[in-house]
Chains A and B, each alone.
Chain A
Amino acid sequence: MKATPLSNCERRFLLRAIEERKRLDGRQCYDYRNVRISFGADYGCCIVELGKTRVLAQVSCELVPPKPNRPTEGILFFNLELSPMAAPGFEPGRQSELLVKLNRLIERCLRNSRCIDTESLCVVAGEKVWQIRLDLHLLNHDGNIIDAASIAGIVALCHFRRPDVSVQGEEVTVYAPEERDPVPLSIHHMPICVSFAFFQQGTYLLVDPSEREERVMDGLLVIAMNKHREICTIQSSGGIMLVKDQVLRCSKITAVKVAEITELIQKALENDQKVRKEGGKFGFAESIPNQKITAFKMESAAVNTNNVEEQAEEIITKADPPSEVFAKPILHTPGTAQIGEGIENSWGDLEESEREEAAEEESESEAAAFECQTVETEDTSTMKETKKDEPIVLSDSEEEEVVILEPQELPRKTRTQTNLKQENTSKKAFTKRRRKKRAAY
């Protein structure tokens, strides 16, 4: 399915708001959305919500022969998938540019930064090593997929426990979780990605862009850092021209944000650990009654209405009163009135076009008559009463009985009166028509 394009006025509105340093959800330029981390029942499964963006991460492991050029290291495999449930624009099976970009970023952030000790994953050198597979699924796309995915990835890796293994000579024994407690992976540090969106050729900068902001941005800069202030990866994309100072400033902002997020992650992991140890309930099922995962809760935003009345009154008193619209019907021939003037007919002397014009004028006057306010006049009251007795014939076809409109020549037929409902007509126009009718007869 094709994604809905962004309308020009929405784009302009967003850019103007950003110029005034305002964001749609009320955040400041450097504010992150709320990060919520929930764990599943199994080790290594978690869901991270960054605002409304949701990513599910799952870690699994397998014993495989190692790569020939690295016989003593385990294998890491990362995979990010953009599920069609995340956004209408995502299609299954199609390798889009975005997917390639995101996958490469996740790989660079987690693999090249050596956050996981691969040597510890070796069981028998040259024969058996652990292959750790991290699968990330995007469940809802509301902007800034890479940040949510990197948080989900590192949290899942920290949460994961692999089965314990013992080697006696040539024999390798893999213990089931019931026999021996599973062992966590050895993780040196936690790299977190922070995204910066640039607008107006780099003049304005926003942290954690939402989906709308991403659509109007010029370019994106992603910096991945850990809490020791080591940059794990930087990637600029989107064709913006950066200046060195901007990059340095962004790296300083990243350090602050990463510290906050790492603290949050630590707390979440500790909480989960505590709940499991105490034998409490854990897993996604537990969060259903709390409406954490399956419900899409709208948080009501508090609106300050303290001095709305005063403000409104001020605006009203200052504004000019609306000008009254006077409907002045123009008489063409008896039975025809026109309110408002159309443009000169530029089609030439064609009978058909004049007929069509006549029909259009008719409908125009009828519509105008419908909308006009009723005006009390004494003269018309008697005439109205007499007309009420006559049956109203509604003709479906607009074409029949249409006469060429020639002023002062042919009397208009009574088509006008048949289509008008008595209650809605303008008495003024009505009177004029009635008078014309009388004049004709």
Chain B
Amino acid sequence: MAAPELLSDEGYRADGRRPAELRKIRARMGVFAQADGSAYIEQGNTKALAVVYGPHEMRGSRSKALPDRALVNCQYSVATFGTGERRRRPRGDRQTGELALQLQQTFEAAILTQLHPRSQIDIYVQILQADGGNYCAGVNAATLAVMDAGIPMRDYVCACSAGLAEDTPLADLSSPEEAVGGPRLVLALLPASGQIALLQLSARLHQERLEAVLEAAGQACRALHAVLDRVVRERLREVTALLGD
């Protein structure tokens, strides 16, 4: 079975993008009134929704409360209608469990948890339409939601995926590009300091190419950061206008 061309001869990808180009991003904050913070993001055809509750008192077992910092509780689920074939289990299988753990790890490093000891912050991410870069869209939506909730963070957490076509690194893979089976790198970055909160690579990538792909993912994250920053400032302007001068 011949793999479809990732990059045409003119240097365009299957959906007409350049190798380092991101998909169109649309984001909204403050989508729900009930939750402390919520956000919705669309990256191309991937749609993700994130909702944040907290910081609030520990639910469930009090014994799990950490004496010096807040506990970040994450849940990641993909809607049953989100993929091409109907998914039987939106969450509970190993893959979504692992992604929820990674989400927790990423945000525990980014949120200033020392400011809220013995409390809990809940982050729920729902992928409404999965078209590649699902986890990254989830992380970006969660960042916006945490900002909407007013929870202090070290920096934005921007996540992006990157792949490789022959020798050219590609940024922000879509679902058909992921299905080809080439290497796929997921990077969650704090743009200001350049620190990597999460790094995950699947499928084979030669060691020599690692730096190029990492660099491409890093650039994509920084570009994403600019977009998200604009969204946050827009929202802030909106909110202050509503509240009056």
Contacts and interface: CB of A to CB of B under 8 A. Distances in A.
Interface of A: 69, 95, 97, 100-101, 103-104, 107-108, 112-114, 221, 225-226, 228-244, 247-248, 251-252, 255
B207 A255 contact: yes
Contacts of B204: 113-114, 226, 230-232
Interface residues of B, number: 36
A255 B185 CA distance: 19
B108 A241 contact: no
Contacts of A95: 97
Interface in B170-220: 181, 183, 185, 190, 193-208, 210-211, 214-215, 218
Contact of A242 (B95, B195, B203, B205): B195
B200 A234 contact: yes
Contact of B207 (A108, A113, A229, A240): A229
B109 A104 contact: no
Contacts of B105: 237-239
Given A108-B202, A112-B203, A251-B207, A243 B101 contact: no
B62 interface: no
Q: Is the interface of A mostly helix, strand, loop or mixed?
A: mixed
A235 B208 CA distance: 18
A301 to B, nearest CB: 36
A247 B196 contact: yes
Contact of B94 (A100, A240, A248, A255): A100
21 contacts: A100-B94, A100-B97, A100-B101, A107-B94, A108-B202, A114-B204, A221-B199, A228-B206, A230-B205, A231-B183, A231-B204, A231-B210, A232-B204, A235-B201, A239-B106, A241-B193, A242-B199, A243-B196, A247-B196, A247-B214, A255-B207
Interface string B39-67: 00000000000000000000000000000
Contacts, number: 94
Contacts of B197: 239, 241
Contact of B199 (A97, A107, A225, A247): A247
B15 interface: no
A114 B203 contact: yes
Nearest to A69: B85
Given A243-B194, A244-B196, A101 B207 contact: no
Nearest to A221: B199
Nearest to B200: A235
B98 interface: yes
Given A113-B204, A241-B109, 19 more contacts: A100-B94, A101-B98, A103-B94, A228-B206, A231-B206, A231-B210, A233-B200, A234-B199, A234-B200, A234-B201, A236-B196, A236-B198, A236-B199, A237-B102, A239-B109, A241-B196, A242-B195, A244-B214, A244-B218
A226 B108 CA distance: 32
Contacts of A232: 203-204
Given A233-B202, A235-B199, A239-B105, A104 B207 contact: no
Given A97-B101, A236-B200, A241-B190, A230 B214 contact: no
Contacts of A112: 202-203
The 6 A-B residue pairs with the shortest CB-CB distance in the complex, in nearest-first order = A241-B195, A234-B201, A242-B196, A239-B109, A104-B98, A236-B199
B101 A230 contact: no
A69 B211 CA distance: 35
A247 B208 CA distance: 13
Nearest to B95: A104
